[in-house]
Amino acid sequence: MTTEPFGARLRRAMDDRGPLCVGIDPHASLLADWGLSDDIAGLERFTHTVVEALADRVAVLKPQSAFFERFGSRGVAVLERAVADARAAGALVLMDAKRGDIGSTMAAYAATYLDPASPLFSDAVTVSPYLGYGSLRPALDLARESGAGVFVLALTSNPEGAEVQHAVRADGRSVAATMLDHLRAENAGATPMGSYGAVVGATLGDSLTAAGAELAINGPLLAPGIGAQGATAADLPKVFGAAVRDVVPNVSRGVLRHGPDMAALRESADRFAGEIRDAVAG
């Protein structure tokens, strides 16, 4: 059982290694770019290379579960090993599963990723709140019990997200702002940082203002969009303002395109981490 809260472990990892999160996204086109076959052998080679190259230097590795699930049980077995190997090397593992349901089904999802007895136990998991924030309670409670974390989709970088996330409730608050309010309440009083984070796209810019979003939630902000999606490290202070120190920028293709050369992967990750550290420090 992990007893130290995820927020404290994440804060230490970000301070020691820099705040970079690198995705592990073995989609078919990237496997092809690496000269690998789109099968279990290619998946294993890709995943092992990324973990071996980066798990001892980046704060967070974020496997995208779908790219493993598409290979069935053998793909999930590769994912299980990646989680274990990455954590053993010192990286925190954020499982990008975006699960969301109600009742016993949500409890089962929570047990899959947040129960230390599970072979897929991760330091944190992404979840979708669009069956209502209260539907996430099994994951929120199990995360607190096990010292894990939860990242809730709040303001995502895909353009379709705005139709739900920017929608205004009867009380005048946007859906996204409501989710951030809930997370702020979950993190109240936590030091040095809460364990309940939000996903907020680094590419959103002025649309954050349009959503009426207050990003300071005393918890981490996972920020996809650095690199291939167009955002840069220099954009982070402008987008996140006073909350920038709690941002965990995610880079996937920007780093992974340098594989399968492990030295090139490491060099790319180190470069992004340095740029992000400098931007956050001002």
Which residues make Cβ contacts (< 8 Å) with residue 161, sequence separation at least 6?
153, 155
Q: How far apart are CA 188 and CA 175, in angstroms?
A: 20
pLDDT digit string (tens) for 5-34?
A: 999 999 999 999 999 999 999 999 999 999
> Catalytic residue positions?
98
**Average pLDDT over all residues of the chain:** 94
Q: How many CA atoms lie within 13 A of 52 on its CB side?
A: 12
pLDDT for residue 173 is more than 60: yes
Q: How far apart are CA 6 and CA 62, in angstroms?
A: 15
Q: How far is CA 149 from CA 65, 81, 107, 132, 251, in A?
A: 17, 20, 15, 19, 20
Run of H or E including 198: strand 196-200
pLDDT digit string (tens) for 36-80?
A: 999 999 999 999 999 999 999 999 999 999 999 999 999 999 999
- Quote the longest CA-to-CA distance of the chain: 54
